[in-house]
């Protein structure tokens, strides 16, 4: 009788009934379709090859191991889906949810769009979550978006033993690539969950494989970044890298960076994006001046490139990025999901025009 009581209590206090691991079969993430990958090492979830990061600052090397923007596509007819993932470390951020930092979220193709299904709650370095159950058993395509601000050591996707699990259908997956280099905003910091970083939003809305090279506090326009970007076979390069660079750094580094990238990729369009305006700059005159100088120097670089006869270079102004109601941030700088939806629309429309494709609202 006591054992029965404990079983009942365990069920009541566990919102997801624990299914025996023996009922599932697991497949490694790298055995399926991994999107958002720039590294050529297929067994890890790092964003830059180890041979390239040696030339970059310490923080960029560290953050390059974080899996922001990466996602795993697969199809299954299982009635339940389970995720096992291992982190190097359970990280914390004062302005982010743990799901966004260390967790995962699942999307399903509903025949028209990628629709959100559920999120996987992280509790430590080793995590096991029953993500969804009581599905109808139809063979469907899914995408799991990986953590924004932690290093994934391993990930497995589990389905019932009598079900199929295969790489995602090519018809539903991106075939074109865009590379985005920038700051913590590009990386997706303060998004509620991984799929809400703006490159990930754009990936679902535009059927494009977005390579997210956003680095928290560290998108400072080092010239080596041009060589790393040029190795990515992208149809467009987006440079959203103004926020972290001081005005004198923008003045000194932005032209060499864009000029080098243009030299390496003479025909590939480049989109230059100004810094978002920090909310505090509406009140703090020093911060206002700093942002105006940052964007001013970036615009000078753009104008200089045009004057030299460079083609296929586009420019997005700060006021077009996050609306004017002052409600698009968590902390005055980093965007909420509302802010990320807004910036994705602005950049998405520019990319749609350049690439002659449709942007789904």
Query: Where does residue 174 rank: exposed (0-12), middle (13-18), buried (19+ CB within 10 A)?
Result: middle
300 in the same domain as 187: yes
Pairing mode of beta strands 126-132, 81-87: antiparallel
Q: Specify the pTM.
A: 0.92
Inside any domain, residue 215: yes
Q: pLDDT, tens digit, for every residue of 8-62? A: 444 444 444 444 557 999 999 999 999 998 877 788 999 998 888 888 999 999 9
Segments forming the whole domain that contains residue 149: 16-171
Inside any domain, residue 306: yes
Inside any domain, residue 46: yes
- pLDDT band with cut points at 50, 70 and 90 for residue 6: very low
Q: What does each C-alpha distance from 196 to 23, 174, 273, 336 come to in angstroms?
A: 32, 18, 19, 9
Question: Helices 247-264 and 285-307 meet at what angle, rounded to 10?
Answer: 30
In whole angstroms, give the CA distance from residue 242 to residue 104: 28
44 in the same domain as 188: no
215 in the same domain as 150: no
DSSP calls for 16-66: SPPPPGGGEEEEEGGGSEEES---S-TTS--SS-HHHHTTS-HHHHHHTTS
On average, the pLDDT of the chain sits at: 93
206 in the same domain as 151: no
pLDDT at 17: 43
pLDDT at 160: 98
180 in the same domain as 151: no
pLDDT at 19: 45
pLDDT over 80 (residue 257):
yes
331 in the same domain as 183: yes
Inside any domain, residue 10: no
Inside any domain, residue 189: yes
325 in the same domain as 237: yes
Whichever domain contains 222, its CATH number is: 3.40.50.1110
What is the rounded average pLDDT of the residues 152-176? 95
Whichever domain contains 143, its CATH number is: 2.60.120.260
Handedness of CA 155, 159, 165, 170 (dihedral sign): negative
Residue % of the chain over a pLDDT of 70 = 94
212 in the same domain as 78: no
Inside any domain, residue 223: yes
What is the rounded average pLDDT of the residues 316-345? 95
107 in the same domain as 32: yes
Residues 6 or more apart whose CB falls under 8 angstroms from that of 177 comprise 208, 209, 210, 211, 232, 233, 234, 235
Q: Among residues 171, 196, 218, which one ends one of the domains? A: 171
Task: Look at residue 159 and give its three-state secondary structure.
Answer: strand
Give the residue among 112, 114, 159 at the shortest CA–CA distance from 132: 159
Q: pLDDT, tens digit, for every residue of 292-308? A: 999 999 999 999 999 99
Inside any domain, residue 79: yes
Q: Among residues 171, 197, 222, which one ends one of the domains? A: 171
pLDDT at 40: 77
Q: pLDDT, tens digit, for every residue of 198-231? A: 999 999 999 999 999 999 999 999 999 999 999 9
Q: pLDDT, tens digit, for every residue of 72-121? A: 999 999 999 999 999 999 999 999 999 999 999 999 999 999 999 999 99
Task: Look at residue 86 and give its three-state secondary structure.
Answer: strand
Q: What is the biggest distance separating any 2 CA atoms in the chain, rounded to whole angstroms?
A: 84
pLDDT over 80 (residue 5):
no
pLDDT over 80 (residue 179):
yes
242 in the same domain as 140: no
Task: Look at residue 289 and give its three-state secondary structure.
Answer: helix
Inside any domain, residue 103: yes
Give the residue among 340, 180, 193 at the shortest CA–CA distance from 270: 180
pLDDT at 10: 45
221 in the same domain as 339: yes
Residue 322 per-residue DSSP state: S
Under a CB-based contact definition with an 8 Å cutoff, are residues 92 and 103 in contact?
no
pLDDT at 92: 96
Q: Specify which residues 42 forms β-bridges with.
A: none
pLDDT at 11: 41
264 in the same domain as 127: no
Q: Among residues 171, 192, 227, which one ends one of the domains? A: 171
What is the rounded average pLDDT of the residues 162-185? 94
pLDDT over 60 (residue 1):
no
- pLDDT band with cut points at 50, 70 and 90 for residue 191: very high
Under a CB-based contact definition with an 8 Å cutoff, are residues 59 and 215 in contact?
yes
In whole angstroms, give the CA distance from residue 225 to residue 229: 6
Number of domains in the chain: 2
């Amino acid at each position: 009788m006591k054992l029965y009581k404990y079983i009942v209590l365990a069920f009541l206090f566990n919102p997801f009934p624990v299914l025996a691991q023996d009922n599932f079969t697991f497949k490694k993430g790298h055995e399926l379709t991994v999107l958002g990958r720039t590294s050529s090492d297929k067994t890890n979830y790092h964003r830059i090859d180890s041979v390239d990061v040696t030339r970059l600052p310490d923080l960029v090397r560290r953050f390059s191991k974080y899996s922001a923007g990466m996602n795993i596509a697969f199809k299954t007819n299982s009635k339940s889906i389970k995720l096992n993932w291992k982190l190097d470390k359970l990280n914390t951020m004062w302005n982010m949810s743990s799901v966004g930092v260390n967790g995962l979220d699942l999307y399903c193709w509903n025949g028209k769009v990628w629709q959100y299904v559920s999120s996987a709650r992280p509790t430590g370095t080793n995590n096991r979550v029953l993500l969804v159950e009581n599905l109808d058993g139809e063979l469907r395509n899914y995408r799991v978006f990986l953590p924004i601000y932690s290093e994934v050591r391993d990930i497995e996707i589990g389905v019932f033993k009598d079900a199929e699990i295969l790489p995602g259908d090519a018809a539903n997956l991106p075939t074109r690539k865009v590379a985005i280099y920038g700051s913590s905003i590009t990386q997706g910091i303060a998004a509620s969950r991984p799929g809400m970083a703006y490159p990930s939003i754009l990936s679902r809305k535009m059927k494009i494989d977005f390579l997210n090279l956003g680095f928290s506090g560290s998108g400072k326009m080092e010239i080596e970044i041009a060589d790393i970007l040029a190795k990515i076979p992208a149809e467009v390069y987006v440079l959203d890298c103004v926020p972290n660079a001081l005005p004198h750094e923008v003045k000194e580094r932005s032209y060499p960076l864009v000029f080098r990238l243009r030299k390496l990729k003479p025909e590939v369009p480049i989109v230059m994006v100004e810094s978002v305006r920090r909310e505090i700059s509406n009140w703090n005159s020093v911060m206002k001046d700093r942002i105006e100088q940052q964007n001013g120097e970036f615009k000078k670089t753009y104008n200089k490139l045009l004057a030299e006869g460079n083609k296929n270079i586009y420019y997005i102004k700060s006021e077009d990025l996050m609306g004017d109601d002052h409600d698009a941030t968590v902390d005055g700088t980093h965007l909420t999901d509302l802010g990320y939806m807004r910036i994705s629309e602005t950049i998405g429309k520019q990319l749609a025009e350049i690439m002659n494709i449709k942007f789904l609202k």
